[in-house]
Amino acid sequence: MHIYIFIIALVHIYVKRYHNRVIKTRKDMILVELLAKEQIQRTSEKGISWQDAITLSAKPLLDKKIIAGDYIDAVIAVCQEKGPYMNIGSQIVLAHARPLPSTKEACIALLQTAEEIFFMDEKHPARLWFFLATPDATSHVAIMQKLAAVLTDSDKIQRLLAAESIEILANVFSGE
């Protein structure tokens, strides 16, 4: 009889542990999938150009070799050619271009600048610089869905603008 109770208790502990681990993994996954801390940067540098901001925002992806320099060049070229349409909402730029073979997987990075940087002209100031890359037309679907959920939430945008650490920025994306 005692042995039965012991076994049931043991199973109970095991299930609980497993359950906790699953929950923890899921939570981490949401964070990792959209924007891991390593892909978020802040800068308080003064007088940087929009080209600098885009190049800096892409640096974590470049360092990890998920993208290559030619893609960053392509993004800047599209902006120069087509104007500030990637300023998708107040204070937000979503920098991207057509897929290139050098992009290994769909990925996203974020740079928060302490100062407003004019994207092309003074009508388009921005402090939140998202950099998006995708190897094809569909791999980035999950990223875009999560990003849209955050960016259409004005409360979350305010938190991103007010954030004073990378942890706080990352928490906005992990739903905390």
Partner 1 sequence: MKFLCICQSGLGSSFMVQMNIQNVLNAMNVKNEIIVDHSDVGSTTPDLADYFFIEETLGEAISNLPKDRVVLLKSLIDKNEIQTAVCKILDKEKISHD
Distances (CA, A) of 171 to 6, 36, 109: 41, 10, 14
Cα(56)–Cα(2) distance, rounded to whole angstroms? 64
Which range binds partner 1 by CB under 8 A, 17-25, 27-35, 57-65, 82-90?
Answer: 82-90
Distances (CA, A) of 66 to 40, 61, 62, 90: 15, 5, 6, 29
Distances (CA, A) of 119 to 43, 57, 131: 16, 14, 14
Q: Give the x-and-dash track for 39-78 against partner 1 (CB under 8 A).
A: ---------------------------------------x
Q: Which of 25, 49, 80, 152 binds partner 1 (CB under 8 A)?
A: 152
**Smallest gap from residue 168 Cβ to partner 1 (A):** 21
Give the Cβ contact number of residue 149 at 10 Å.
Answer: 13
**Smallest gap from residue 109 Cβ to partner 1 (A):** 14
Residue 89 as a binder of partner 1 (CB under 8 A): the answer is yes
Which range binds partner 1 by CB under 8 A, 19-27, 34-42, 52-60, 147-155?
Answer: 147-155
- Interacting positions 125-144 with partner 1 (CB under 8 A): 132, 134, 137, 140-141, 144
Contact (Cβ atoms closer than 8 angstroms) between residue 90 and residue 25: no
Q: Which is nearer to partner 1, 66 or 151 (CB)?
A: 151
Phi and psi torsions of 36, nearest 5°: -75, 155
**Smallest gap from residue 3 Cβ to partner 1 (A):** 55
| The 40-43 sheet, strands edge to edge | 40-43, 107-118, 125-133, 91-95
Q: Which is nearer to partner 1, 14 or 85 (CB)?
A: 85
Question: Would you tell me which residues interact with partner 1 (CB under 8 A)?
Answer: 78, 82-86, 88-90, 92, 94, 96-99, 132, 134, 137, 140-141, 144-145, 147-148, 151-152
